[in-house]
Amino acid sequence: MKACSEKGVRLITIFEDEWRDKKALCQSRINAALNWHQRRVFARKCSFRELSFEQAKAFLEENHLQGSVGSEYRIGLFFKEELISVMTLGSPARAHTMRGRRVLELKRFASLLNTIVVGGASKLFARAKLYAKANGYEEIKSYCDMRWGVGTVYRQLGFDLSGATKYTPHYTDCRTRWRNQTFASSVLQKEEERAKEKGVYKIYDCGHQTWVYKID
């Protein structure tokens, strides 16, 4: 991946199960990377609303590769009563990284398949910042999966890159894929032993970038 970046080549890495189970989503992401969209909508023509968990979940299950996740604040953009873009925020999944600070994590951001909402991320994030400030948060943190992205949206929103991981192990039985936490070491058994017992193979992603936005 580093070699590709140095030559100006954007490398996209797709897991087999993603292409098998969520092919339309993968194709939409590839189209976005190529700046090709079937539909273009301007955020200034959209209305803003807070969403229920059920509304956000239904949208994200259809339009985000990782589906839905728990959240405390959910916001969306509507174009002529159609929900076309969603952003959710909540408590950090990696609580140990908070280090005593009040941190809000940007969990998910997605737009309708094959649709670009021009200015959508900025419009939603402006609301997210107001929520964070009103509730005493000191920063907003998020993670970029480098299999798919290079952090462009985060830079545009004013985040600072604070670090990156080399890779994260995954495990597969050649049909189902699990994150390494599924086989995390315990007092009685190491991760490698648990994986071997399950009969799965270790594979790797491309790592994640950590992005941080400081609340004024």
Task: Provide the residue-wise pLDDT of the chain in tens; the chain has 216 residues.
Answer: 778 878 888 899 999 999 999 999 999 999 988 888 789 999 999 999 999 999 999 999 999 999 999 999 999 999 999 999 999 999 987 666 666 789 999 999 999 999 999 999 999 999 999 999 999 999 999 999 999 988 999 999 999 999 998 888 899 998 999 887 777 777 677 888 888 888 898 999 999 999 999 998
Which region, left, alpha or beta, applies to residue 80 given φ > 0 means left and ψ of -120 to 50 means alpha? left
β-strands 177-179, 160-164: how paired? unpaired
How many domains is the chain built from?
Answer: 1
Tell me, yes or no, whether 52 lies in a domain: yes
Residue 110 belongs to a domain with what CATH number?
Answer: 3.40.630.30
pTM: 0.89
The one-character DSSP state at 102 is -
Gap between the Cα atoms of 201 and 215, Å rounded: 42
Tell me, yes or no, whether 175 lies in a domain: no
Residue 178 CB-density burial (10 A; 0-12 exposed, 13-18 middle, 19+ buried): middle
Task: Give the amino acid at 91.
Answer: S
Tell me, yes or no, whether 147 lies in a domain: yes
Tell me, yes or no, whether 143 lies in a domain: yes
Gap between the Cα atoms of 2 and 123, Å rounded: 32
Tell me, yes or no, whether 78 lies in a domain: yes
User: Residue 54 is part of which domain span?
Assistant: 16-159
Tell me, yes or no, whether 182 lies in a domain: no
